[in-house]
Every structure is written in C-alpha cells, then in structure tokens.
Structure 1
Amino acid sequence: MLNLFILPSDALFETVFPDSSSALRNGGLWPDQSSSAQKICRRPSSLLQLSSIFRVWIREEMHGKKRRRRQELNQQATETRLPENRSGKRAGRNRSCGASGLSLRGIAGRLALALLVLAGLFGQAEWPQASAASAAGSSRDLIIVNKTTNRLAWFSGGEEIRTFPVATGRTKALTPEGSFPIVSKIKNRPYYKDHIAGGDPKNPLGDRWLGLQVNDTYGTTYAIHGNNNESSIGKHVSAGCIRMHNDDIRWLYPKIAKGTRVVIVSSEQSMKALAVKAGYKLDRQSVAGSFQIGASRIGADRPFVIAGGRVFVPLRETAEAAGAVIGRKDSGALTVTRGGRTAAHLPLGSTVAADGRNYGLPASSFYEDGVLMVPLAALPALLGGDAAWNSASKTAVLKL
C-alpha cells in the first residue's frame, strides 16, 4: 500500500505557482479540503487517478486565465474603444504561449511538481510545513563533505557531532562543489532509471535520500543517500551523488532538518577549519593538555576539548595513561578494564555500566577527528577513583 503523500507548504506552492491557489483547491489537491478528489491525492491508488486530478487542475487554471483575459480586454475596450475584428471580438495583445497563457516558468513548475509527486507516490516524501523552529534548527546545523578525504562531518549546536566515510564522484567534476541546502527527504526512493523499487536491496540509492538543491535541480538529481555496494564507500566511484553506509545514513537521516546547509569541497584542511571557513560558529575549543597521575605528569598526544563549559578527554589515551586496557563487545560498547574492574561505555552514549549499575554522565561522548572523547566527569565511573581539572595548567588530575 502506498504511503501518505504530503504536498509542500502553501508558501512553496505560491512561490512556484503564484496564480494557482484557487485552482489547486478546486481541483482537490489542497490538504484543507475533504472532497473525494483530495482523498485520492492523499492516498492515490493509481497514476490514472492522479492524472485525472492534474487534468482538472490545469483545465481550471486555463479557464481562469481565459476568464481573466476576457475581463481585461473588455475593460480595455471600454476605456480605449478598441476596434472590433472580423469575429466581432475586441482586438488584444497576442500571447506567445497559446490560449492557456502558460509560461515557460509555469511549464517548468508543473514538471517539477510532477517529479515531486512521483517521488511521493513511490517513496515516502517528507514535505513538512515551514516553521520558525525548523528554520532555527537547520541554521544550527551544517554538513561538510570533503571530496579529497571522502569524509562527511555533521555539525550541530556549534559542535562537530560525528564524521562518516562517504563515496563521491568518480571524477572531480561529477560531484559539484559549493554550498547547497537540503530540500527533500525521501525514504525508499525508487531507482527510476532501472525500474528498481524503493527499499529493494538492489537499489543503488539505498533507502534514505537527502536531496540537494544544486543550480536548477530541486532535490531530484544530487543527494546524500545510501547504497547497494558497501565496499564502494570511501572511494571516488559515484555519478555525482554522495553515498554513505546504509547504517550511517539511517542514523543521520532523522536528525537532519530540511534547509540544512551542505558544503562540498576538496581540501586538505580539517573539518573544523572548513566549518569555520564556511561561516559556522563553533562552540568548542581544543587545548593542549596533560595527565597527572600521582607524581607523574604525562603530556597528551591528542588535544582536549572544552565545550559547553565541560572538559572532554580522549578515552583510549586516557585509559592507557592510567594503565587500563580497552576492549570491545559485540554490541559495539567499549570496555575499560583496570585492576580487575571492568566498565562499559557505548560510543555517543551518556552512561557507563560498572559495579552492577549504570552511571549517568553529564554529557554524551563524541568523535573528534575519529577519536572518541568522553567527559572528564566520566573517568571515575570508567577507571575508578576520582578526576579533576586544573584550568591553569590544562591538566586532568587523576586520583586512582
């Protein structure tokens, strides 16, 4: 059964189709109507039914334009006394696009709408109403795609949340560079070229699609999406889109709002440097730090991170400095074993399991340039003992 199809907001339609609001409502395409035609559009059972609705809409709009044109000509005839032609009608200006007065912009708009409708019919298109909350959310988010390293980074709330391996164009020109908004979100988008259904494991688009507005394309040509060949990720192999591991894009998809900016570059710079260059304001800083364990002081190879007033340290390096051993469970959780005591932590989570209980952390762990960072306050649960921060010397003081 086809899923519920939700059309774009009034604002979007009135931008693309400035004269079409009444025709849309009369044709049953607007969601505030309860007619049978509107019900068909919300859950269409065939392309034939949807085609009928479009014919009604276009016919109504053509008639409306004819009616308005006759009114304008009558008014001009009254004011200027235009001479009558042989048919007895007042002469008027010729129109270049036929009797309906459809402009190229209008034709292009209808084609774009048809593509979006098909995406909604055969996939689960998301067209949420624009709101101040969603706009604010998207402005706090940024996605950077670096074609040189084939990595994608997601920034949110002023922080780099996570990075992922991706595949990009097999030639540099295929994946466009620049800043592009995400304008569509589709689950189970079909692969129309080879007639592969959405959700099919053979579908090269995977089952998640984040469409980008690149030049004159409106989320239908370039996208961040899944794949049907996991071994291709990390390589330059695509026809222009950005491929992700299917598990990765399923994790990312619900967290990304429409309007989120995607910056695509080729660079040797770090993701943070690229984000700052793109005008993104980071709410964290990296500091060169050290560990103090008893009387010994050890300089850290990886910088510490200060974000939201909290200090984060690299888990593996900190554990090794304390003489602990890092392991991994089948579930993906990391284990930290020291002196016969074992604690477990799931990356990106905010709890530590140890001593037969779960310890809540003040903040979730995160990856920084591929290194898992944990709150300094998590170390007592992970290693036992106590931990403190010396801001003057930028030292993590561990009492074990």
Structure 2
Amino acid sequence: MHKTGIVSYGYGLPVCRLKVEEVLSVWRNADLRLVRDQLGITERAVLQPDEDVITLGALAAQQAVEQGGIAELDALYLGTCTNPYESRASAAVILEMLGSGYDAFCADVQFAGKSGTSALQIGHALVASGMARNALAIGADTINRNTAPGDLTEAYAGAGAAALLLGSDNLIAEFDGSFSCAADVADNIRPQGERYIRSGMGLGSDKNSIGLEEQTARAVHGLFKKLGTSSHDYDYAVFQQNLVSTPRSLGRHLGFEPRQIEPGIYAGSVGDTGSASPLLGLINVLDQARPGQKILLSSYGFGAGSDAIALTVTDAILAYQQRAKPLRKVLENKVYVDYGTSIKYEFKYLRADYALTAYL
C-alpha cells in the first residue's frame, strides 16, 4: 500500500448567523441557559437562498484543490445526509464546477453525520491501493434547512462543508489506521419524501447511550485495539460536534483530557454541521498542530454507526499553516439575521407550488 494522507483542506460556511435566543423567544420550548451554557451553542449558521450542500461543498473543494496544487482529480466523493437531489449525484455537479476533468471515480455517500468520514475512508482506500493518484473527500450538510420550525434542535441546527484532498506526496497528515462499526438504531430518521429530520425515539439519555455513545466507543476502542494505542497516545481527539458539549462528554468517557479535546471545538458559533462536523473539527486542529503530533478523529452517524481514524502530523504542516487561512478567522466573518429572515432564507414559509397568475 502507498503512504497516504491529507495534502490540503478547505471549508465552506454560511456568513449569516442566528442567535439561539431568537429561536427560543419564539417557541419557548427550551431554556436559554441550557442551550447556551450547558450545550455550548450561542448562535447557528443560516443559509442564504442560493446556498446548499452543493455550493458549500464546491467552495470547500475549490479551496482544497487550490491549496493542494492539483490540476486533475482522480476521485471525488461527497458525504451528505441532506442532499438537494434524491437521485442525481451532487458529487458530479461539484466535479463539473471544479473543471478538473470528467474521468474520475465520483459518487455521493450517505450515512447521516458520518457521511464525510465515510467519503474520507473511500478516498484513502483508492489512493492507498494505487487505484487513484489523489482523491477529494467532502462532507457537507444543511441541517438547518432540514430541521422543522419549532423542533427542539432548531436553535443549534447549522450548515457547513469541509473538503480534504488526499494523496501520497506532500502530506500534512498521514493515515495510521481506521476502524468502523454500524448497527440498526432508529435514533433519528428522515423517511423518503420527507424534508425534515425527526427523532425516532424519545429524547433523553437512553437515546444517546445506545446510539452516539455506544457506537463512538465501539469504533474508538476498536481502533485502539487495532493499533495498540490508548487515549494517552494522542495529542488531539476530534469527535462529532452537533453541540459543544458532545465532544467533551464523549472524550471524557473515553479517557481523554480537556487539553486533547478543546482545540477541535468550533460549533458554538455555527451549530450542527452534520457530515462536515468532524472534518471541520479536524481542520481546526490541523490549523494549530505541530509535526509528529497524533490525532484521533471520530464521527457518528445516526442510524447508527461510527468511524475512527488515526493520523500523524508531518513536517509539511508548518509551511501549510503559513499559507492557509485558519478556520477560526473564517468563523469571525458573520452577519446576524433575525428569526423571520432565517425562516425566509431557509424556505420554511409555506406557499403554493406554482403561481396561477403573475400575482397569485
């Protein structure tokens, strides 16, 4: 197998933000102190009318390709659970937008919030096996547009995209190994033809314990056993980040310390970015990591499953950090909107499917 890893990365985030109190003041279905102080979310991303998985994914992909200096892609995989098309491949649209040629492995990948890391594993396998010289893995979701008004998660349902260019040369982080698991758990669902993600069981600790916590622990412990490592062998640990409290809780139960977890946390000002969530956390870590440091990346997808990936940062990270704009700087670029505007931008007001006249 070829030495394989991350060559470059990119991200795509909406500029608009909505403060959590704007949502809670309308629905009054949750305590502000709970969402802001315990869950750790102060605001979430809001999509503008012309933004979706494809546009955000294309923005992230373009940055990754430009930073990596790649003229032609051999593979492109898009991981998403909020695809704007039910059958058309959004990955093919992004490939066309990049203008990097038509001869490539290309497909959409779907496994809820771990769709992005699943795309990452596919890309890694293609490059490591020699089937592709390079591969672009994208994780992108619009959880906000696919969350119903009044839903308990509406205050922190965000959107975003992350792209990782994989190759075997000029690596900034090398793959050490990965482990995955899956089980049939209906913690969250979105049946065919329905727009909004819904809870498949009652909210509470039991839902998290049999889904998020059990699957993440299985994948992480499986990786530990496979590589002969433990939590103490990693400088950073990145987890699914629908809430700021989630990686802290998962990390604590898996034996990680706050110093390993905090560098990857970013969701407080964006909310749940779905498939992009763990990849954006990884990018946040790569923005500050040093050569030789080790990273544990773990994702979770409702339904349910988890991926765990181990990486080692290379010497090339120092030069890369000098030319790449850090994620934390991008997060500072924002414009606040009110709740009514967010509903309008995310197409949640009901209207007729077609116009009868120019005025009706």
The TM-score bracket by the shorter chain reads under 0.3
Q: In terms of Rg, which structure is larger?
A: 1
More strand by share: 1
More helix by share: 2
Q: Which has the higher contact order (CA 8 A, sep 6+)?
A: 2
